[in-house]
Chain A
Amino acid sequence: MKATKSLPISADKNKKLKSTKNYAIPYLVWCFVLILIPSLVLIFIAFSTYDFTSGSDVSFTFNNFSYIFGSEYAISVFWPSIGRSFYISGAVTVICFFLGYPVAYLMKSMKPRVRAIIMGLLVLPLWSNQVLRIVSWRTIFELLQTNTTNFYQINIIIAMVSMYLPFMILPIYTVLEKIDPKIIEASYDLGASRKQTFFKVTLPLSLGGIISGVIMTFLPSLTSFEVSDAVSYQNITLLGNLIYERFRGTGGFNVGSVFSIVTVVFSIVGFILVMRVDKEGETLI
C-alpha cells in the first residue's frame, strides 16, 4: 500500500522539477551563444595566425603570447600600461573603500526614510548613461582648467571613483546590515569601547562585504577604457585602451585576444578570492 501510494507523488515531483528546469533554458542558450562560444573563439584567435580581414591561412602559434613578453612594444607600452592600470584601479579601490565604508556604516544606523534617500542618491546615477557621466566629468575638469597633462591621472581616478563608489558601498552595507545588533551589544557588555568594538567585531564581520566591494570596483576600473579615453584625451593608455585599440582597428585581433585573456586571468583570480572569503556568495549582489 505504502509503496504504491508514494509512487505517484515522487513521479509528480520529478515532473515539476523538469518543468521548472525548462525556464532556465533561455539563459543556458544565452550563456552558450554569448559567453562560451566567444570565449572559445577568443582562445582560438589568441593561439592562431588567423587574420579576420584578409582571411589568411590558419596555423597554430605561440607568437601572440611571446609578443607580450619579448617585443619592444611590450616593454615600452604593454607592461607600463598594465602597471598604470593597476596603479590607477588600486588607487580608485582604496579611495572608494575609505569613502564608502563610513557611508555604509552610517547608513546602517540611519532612520529608514533617510536611508532610502541615501540609497536612492547612490543608485540614481547608475540610471544615467555612463558615457554621459564621463563626458560630464571632462567638462567639469575643463571648467576647472585641470585638463592638463599633470592632472590626467588624478582626473581619471576622480571620475572612476564617482563611477564605482556605489559598488563599494552596497555590498558593505548589505553585510553590515546583517550583523545582529546584539553581537555589537555583547562587545560593549564585555568591556569593549566603541573603537575596540569596531575594530574587533564590526570590521572583521564585514570582511566579506569589503572583499566583494573591492572586487567590484577593482576589476571594472582595471579594464575600463572609456574614462581614460575621454578624460585624458587619449593621452593615458590603460589595459582597457590597449584591448580596445586592437579590436577597433584591423589586424590586431590575435594580440588583442591575448590581452583579453590576461584580463580574464586577473578576473578569475579575483573571484577565487571572493569565493574563499564568502562561501555562500551572500555578499555578491
Chain B
Amino acid sequence: MALKRMLENWSDLRKRDYYEDEPYMWGMSIDLNKCTGCGSCVTACYAENNLPVVGKERCGSGHAMHWMRIERYWEEPEGETDIDIEQSDYPERGAHYTPMMCQQCNHAPCEPVCPVAATYHTPDGLNAQVYNRCVGSRYCGNNCPYKVRYFNFFDFSKDIPAPLEMQLNPDLSVRSKGVMEKCTFCVQRIRSAKDKAEDAGHRDYIEDGAVKTACQQTCPTEAIVFGNLKDDDSKVKTLWAEHEVELNRHEQEKVEDARGYRVLEELNVEPSVMYLDRVRDTEA
C-alpha cells in the first residue's frame, strides 16, 4: 500500500520544496557588523521563553540552558596596527561575536533521529519540538551540528521562588525534567500574529514586521531581522536576495560585496538563518 502510494505520488514526493504552496517560510538574518555582543538578545530570550537560569556550576557540568548564546571569537587583525588606535581607549582586539540559536534547518539532522517524533518540521519551515511528546533520549541534541538543543536535567521550575512564577509567559509551557528544548523562533508570537491576521480576514498573509522575535525586538543595533521568506517585499527576503543567499542551495556563490553566509552550510542542513559577515578595516 505504502509502496503503491509512493509510486503514484512519486513526482510530488520528489519535489525539492515540498511546502512550496504554503504561505509562510520563516527566516532570519543576523548582521554581525552591527552585533556588539551586548547579550540583550539572550536576556530577552530568557524572559520570553521561561528559561531557567542554571548558574555557573551547572553550566560548567554541561547542564547549560540558553536557547540563544553569544559565541565569542578572537581574531587578531592582520597587518600593522595603527599606533593611535593602539593607544585609544577602545583598541581593536579582534573580538567577533556570533549569536547562535536553533537554525531551524530545513534538512534538520535532529528530526529523523527522534524515536518518538517529538521533533518534526512544520509547514511554516520551523523545526518544531513537542514537549509533551519528548521522552528525553537526547539523540537530537547529539545529532545537532550547532549544539543548540538543551536538555532539562533538573526540574528547574521548582527553583522559582514564590511570587516569581507570576512573571512566566503563559503562552508556552514551562518545561519539566527530562525534556529537550530549543529556540522556536518565538512560535507563540507567530501564533498570535496568525490569530490577528485571521481576525482581519487574511489568514495567508501576515504583514512584515507584525511578528518580531524577542531577540529581534530587544537588539539595540537592530542586527537581527526576522520575517517571512515567501513574502518578496519582506525585509528579511530583501536582505537574503541582496546578499545572494538562497534556500535549496548548499553552497552559495561568493559574490563581491555580498556578505551573506549560513553557518556550516557545507553540511547541507539548509539553515533558515543567514549571517552577514563582519567586515573590518585592518588598515586603519
Query: Are A and B physically bound partners?
Result: no
Question: Which residues of A line the B interface, CB within 8 A?
Answer: none
Question: Which residues of B line the A interface, CB within 8 A?
Answer: none
